[in-house]
A and B are shown apart, each in its own frame.
Chain A
Amino acid sequence: MSLLKIGTSMLRKTKSSRGDFVFSADRLIRLVVEEGLNQLPYTECTVTTPTGHKYEGVRFEKGNCGVSIMRSGEAMEQGLRDCCRSIRIGKILIQSDEETQRAKVYYAKFPPDIYRRKVLLMYPILSTGNTVIEAVKVLVEHGVQPSVIILLSLFSTPHGAKSIIQEFPEITILTTEVHPVAPTHFGQKYFGTD
């Protein structure tokens, strides 16, 4: 889709200003979130319109939650909030261990009944996929089935997506682009810490 391509062009450009960068990122995030919500279960229903006629529609089921992987995943929280005003959002902090260079979980806080919820896991850039794999492990420890996890991301390398699927074949991954070069500067530029 051309539109995504424009957005990704803006994000990848070295020269784009932070304002433009954040603006484009938020637009892409919103589109990914909307697509993610489409994966959630719903039931058919009929409502009456103000003209007194019936409309055959659908109703979404309750029991979802968002989980963002800190820090860059937090950039996607607002996009989710803009679509679901009162959704519960959990957080996981994962950092590379300075000695072993492996991803290590430092902090996790979820809604207590997360085991019976569908989870929208948010992490914008999938490079190696290790961070996400660690995060899913934590979720599984809290009783979440991998089959109900929907991973929302902006970019993925083919390798990253593959390693996640190898580890958890039932997970759903949504992204705007699969490309060998990941824009790893995303978090720094989005939050202005570069």
Chain B
Amino acid sequence: MSSPPAFSSVRISGCWALGPDGGNSSAESLDRLYPAVGSTKPPRKRTTSQCKSEPPLLRTSKRTIYTAGRPPWYNEHGTQSKEAFVIGLGGGSASGKTTVATMIIEALDVPWVVLLSMDSFYKVLTKQQQEQAASNDFNFDHPDAFDFDLIIATLKKLKQGKSVKIPIYDFTTHSRKKEWKTLYGANVIIFEGIMAFADKELLKLLDLKIFVDTDSDIRLVRRLRRDISERGRDIEGVIKQYNKFVKPAFDQYIQPTMRLADIVVPRGSGNTVAIDLIVQHVHSQLEERKLRWDMAALASAHQCHPLPQTLSVLKSTPQVRGMHTIIRNKETSRDEFIFYSKRLMRLLIEHALSLLPFQSCTVQTPQGQDYEGRTYSGKQITGVSILRAGETMEPALRAVCKDVRIGTILIQTNCNTGEPELHYLRLPKDISEDHVILMDCTVSTGAAAMMAVRVLLDHDVPEDKIFLLSLLMAEMGVHSVAYAFPRVKIITTAVDKKVNDLFRIIPGIGNFGDRYFGTDAPPDWSDDEDALST
């Protein structure tokens, strides 16, 4: 992007001005944008490389809710079997790459599409370069202006399904902002930028290369309109910059990469036929990547095997058995169910903490003698609960782990496919060195637990630092988790033998979340219990 400095927010409004209806950006769409652009200059949003697929998302300032969840992207061995599909989108400045990308995303209509923009990867400028930039003498349209090493590393990781951090480029200071943006979990990655095809290493990562070929006259007109009406620049300056940098860069670096493209889209976003074809191709590629694994087959495969070494079951003391008796009993009132499940959780968590690594230490006592004690030897402990039921274990964790950080993962089972789907994810920063206590109340098939473990691994948590905690597990779940992730520690208070056709544990405990939160409909809708507890 040849966007010169000091004009934050322009690019995003620019791409809106171009509008979804292609290059025929109308005057009223510009007018509509005027007040927003004005003197206040909101932050340049586009550089955050966010997923732009609007339809399946509900987005607030801090959270993203996927209204359609992400189905499993890993196989029964817990590994990602196929890499994400990467679409490279190149073309000259103001050729309509972003609009094409948006149109592809809209037409694809699949969740978990990520748009990665090269704008985020401008190099940090030295002082001298900053001065050049201020006087419009720095060439932003040269391959050297981009940090290709970082782009390649990021794209590689993202392609492998890992979580990545994207720098946020500040166009006023020409440096990266302190906080980087985390991007995770894409089945399709759209990577766009003027120099998208300028690096050999980078080219290898692109599964589909699209060149948006818009006539240079049209591109100049768009630039002029954008720079003058939105950035308040004079015509002389724009033309000077165009002649000095933008045009030579296009001729020297961008135009020649057209022959590397698989598809050339003439007239940019106006070309709906080309976009339809692209979307069809991507769909067929996604279909190939779809994973179908039969949970029932998986279960029978493990049936006769002994329980794994990584499983640790809380000692079955009379109290533990007594509490199980109460919470498993269908006659138990919600009040008692909550009380005794909480007590059991506390014991479970104390048991799990005792499995963390320790080191010896010497402390001084008020009695004047040294005492040989022990202390936790890891960096820190982070809890991650699998919503909704896993959330109920958070208080117990907080009660024994002061100031523990807690993340959440929402996984729901799709009623139609029976597959777990990832809907929402919020993890504390930099968890890769922590011991992670992953909490879910019941594990029957292990499908949700496996997805959660996969998410943690994608966030660089080492497998042997993950502790999966559950009040009750079925043998099937224990086996599938242990088979896929042999180094994850599995800790529970009891293991039941069977799982029924509805994937409920037998004899089990019922639907834990429903019983705990009271979302199971009582047959007569009596409010007696509520009356008692208030």
Listed in ascending order, the chain A residues whose CB lies under 8 Å from chain B are 1-3, 5-6, 8-10, 12-15, 20, 23, 27, 30-31, 34-35, 37-38, 40, 42, 45, 47-51, 53-55, 57-60, 82-83, 85, 179, 181-185
Q: Are A181 and B507 in touch, CB under 8 angstroms?
A: no
CA distance A80 to B324 in the complex (A): 19
Q: Are B318 and A1 in touch, CB under 8 angstroms?
A: no
In the assembled complex, which residues on chain A have CB atoms less than 8 Å from the CB atom of B515?
A: 50
**Is B39 interfacial (CB 8 A cutoff)?**
no
Q: Are A34 and B365 in touch, CB under 8 angstroms?
A: no
Q: Are B318 and A38 in touch, CB under 8 angstroms?
A: yes
Chain A nearest Cβ from B533, distance in angstroms = 13
Query: A-facing mask of B322-344, CB < 8 A → 1, else 0?
Result: 10110011110000000100010
Which residue of chain B has its CB nearest to the CB of A53? B507
Main secondary structure, interface of A, reads mixed
In the assembled complex, which residues on chain A have CB atoms less than 8 Å from the CB atom of B353?
A: 3
In the assembled complex, which residues on chain A have CB atoms less than 8 Å from the CB atom of B369?
A: 181
Q: Are B364 and A15 in touch, CB under 8 angstroms?
A: yes
Q: Are A53 and B366 in touch, CB under 8 angstroms?
A: no
Chain B residues 481 to 524 lying within 8 A of chain A, measured CB to CB, are: 500, 504-511, 515
Which residue of chain A has its CB nearest to the CB of B347? A34
CA distance A150 to B331 in the complex (A): 32
Listed in ascending order, the chain B residues whose CB lies under 8 Å from chain A are 317-319, 321-322, 324-325, 328-331, 339, 343, 346-347, 350, 353-354, 358, 361, 363-367, 369, 371, 373-376, 399-400, 402, 500, 504-511, 515
14 other A-B residue contacts (CB within 8 Å) besides A37-B319, A185-B366: A9-B371, A9-B375, A14-B364, A15-B363, A27-B400, A31-B350, A38-B318, A47-B328, A47-B331, A49-B330, A51-B505, A55-B507, A59-B325, A181-B365
Q: Are A47 and B319 in touch, CB under 8 angstroms?
A: no
In the assembled complex, which residues on chain B have CB atoms less than 8 Å from the CB atom of A183?
A: 365-367
* Interchain CB contact (< 8 A) of A85 among B339, B346, B511: B339
Which residue of chain A has its CB nearest to the CB of B342? A82
Chain B nearest Cβ from A176, distance in angstroms = 12
CA distance A38 to B119 in the complex (A): 64
Which of the listed residues A2, A179, A182 has the most CB atoms from chain B within 10 Å of its own CB?
A2
With contacts A49-B328, A55-B507 taken as known, whether A23 is within 8 angstroms of B402 at the C-beta atoms is: yes
In the assembled complex, which residues on chain B have CB atoms less than 8 Å from the CB atom of A14?
A: 363-366
Which residue of chain A has its CB nearest to the CB of B358? A2
Chain A nearest Cβ from B394, distance in angstroms = 17
* Interchain CB contact (< 8 A) of B510 among A20, A31, A50: A50
* Interchain CB contact (< 8 A) of B504 among A37, A40, A51: A51
CA distance A179 to B365 in the complex (A): 13
* Interchain CB contact (< 8 A) of B350 among A3, A23, A42, A185: A3
With contacts A3-B350, A8-B373 taken as known, whether A51 is within 8 angstroms of B508 at the C-beta atoms is: yes
Chain A nearest Cβ from B349, distance in angstroms = 10
With contacts A49-B507, A57-B322 taken as known, whether A13 is within 8 angstroms of B365 at the C-beta atoms is: yes
CA distance A58 to B375 in the complex (A): 36
CA distance A45 to B500 in the complex (A): 24
CA distance A58 to B325 in the complex (A): 6
Q: Are A50 and B509 in touch, CB under 8 angstroms?
A: yes
